Structure 1
Amino acid sequence: MGLSIRAYARRRGVSHVAVLRAIKQGRVAVEPDGTIDPAKADASWERSTDPGRTRTKPKPAAEKLRPVGEAALGSVRETLREQGLPSGGNVTFVQARTAHEIAKAHLARLRLQRMKGELVDRARATALVFRLAREERDSWLNWPARVAALMAADLGVEAHAVQKLIETHVRGHLAELAEIRAEFR
């Protein structure tokens, strides 16, 4: 037995305008005679209504939670797992909203850190490290020519031989350092 729009609205505890909106949006089906089957309409209403936007009395926890679409499940589960929250089985709307709020908080924190100058651009940091490493390498390559004569005088040996020996060892050490790769993650 079908109910009128106003009767269904009273039964649901909402205005008749809310029921009309639900019909227009396709969230509630109307029978061919223009009435509403309460069982079908209730099930459809529950499936298609965002619980965060309702003003009805709170329902028991088991009824409050409902599964969300498959598209974002992996992301939601990963976010919840990173925060140490349960994420097994079906992901509910509440869990999805929690994951969304966590993501928004992370983005806000990152924006704040960037504005404070606590975060740097990865490409800029890589370029800076490369430039500093090049300056360090050039400084080491010039060092044997500057100190070889002083060391040779202290040791009482030929300066050219000391410079060649120091250059050989410095170049070997720089070759070892060149194998190190900076990774910014």
Structure 2
Amino acid sequence: MGISIRAYGRHRGVSDTAVRKAIAAGRITAEADGTIDAARADADWTASTRTPDDRLSAPGRPARTRAATGTGASDVAAGAPSSAPGGGNTYAQARTANEVLKAQHHKLRIAQLKGELIDRSQVMAQVFALARAERDAWLNWPARISSMLAAELNIDPHVMHVALERGVRQHLAELGDFNARLD
């Protein structure tokens, strides 16, 4: 007594319908009670089932060539190595990659319509304008404050202005070394 057709399908990693078709085609044999001897059926299955490469070069059939199906987006997206002969994608992999890219595109489009995404060039322009306004405010600060500070400290206003301006420019030069990364 062996295992059921469904259990054998799970064992092989195929559907029970595929197992029934293999029995009907005579590729594997079932026991008298309808169960399947897994060890014998595995050997029969392997011996009688042709691989995709065998089907392409079967006698009496012209050999077919496979066209390149893309750039490997499914392999990159899924992080899986290619399983097609010659290192290319199978049609199913290429189609899956296409569907994944379409779904990602639609997801981004919806986020953009909801206002969850913003344009990178607009952000860069606004950050630049903000930084320039901040820099200009700091450059104008010594001229505004130097005479008041000089009066409080009984120092020459010009000396105070030059000292403050030198300090502010040095500080802005240090801040200018910062390089924002927007990857």
TM superposition score normalised by structure 2: 0.56
Determine the structure 1 residue equivalent to 2:98: 100
Amino acid corresponding to residue 110 of structure 2 in structure 1: L
Determine the structure 2 residue equivalent to 1:138: 136
Contact 2:74 2:93 in 1 (8 A): yes
Determine the structure 2 residue equivalent to 1:149: 147
Cα displacement (A) at 1:80 = 1.9
Determine the structure 2 residue equivalent to 1:115: 113
Contact 2:69 2:94 in 1 (8 A): no
Contact 1:76 1:96 in 2 (8 A): yes
d(CA) in 2 for partners of 1:154, 1:178: 32
Gaps in structure 1 of 5+ consecutive residues: 1-38, 48-66
Cα displacement (A) at 1:71 = 4.5
Q: Which of 122, 125, 131 in structure 1 is aligned with 2:123?
A: 125
Contact 1:141 1:167 in 2 (8 A): yes
Contact 1:113 1:119 in 2 (8 A): yes
Determine the structure 2 residue equivalent to 1:89: 83
SS of alignment partner, residue 155 of structure 2: coil
TM superposition score normalised by structure 1: 0.55
SS of alignment partner, residue 77 of structure 1: helix
d(CA) in 2 for partners of 1:115, 1:177: 36
Contact 2:69 2:91 in 1 (8 A): no
What is the count of residue pairs matched by the alignment?
120
Contact 1:68 1:93 in 2 (8 A): no
Alpha-carbon distance change, 87 to 69 in structure 1, aligned in 2, over 3 angstroms: farther
Cα displacement (A) at 1:68 = 6.4
Identity %: 40
Amino acid corresponding to residue 178 of structure 2 in structure 1: I
Contact 2:150 2:157 in 1 (8 A): yes
Cα displacement (A) at 1:180 = 2.7
Gaps in structure 2 of 5+ consecutive residues: 1-59
Amino acid corresponding to residue 152 of structure 1 in structure 2: A
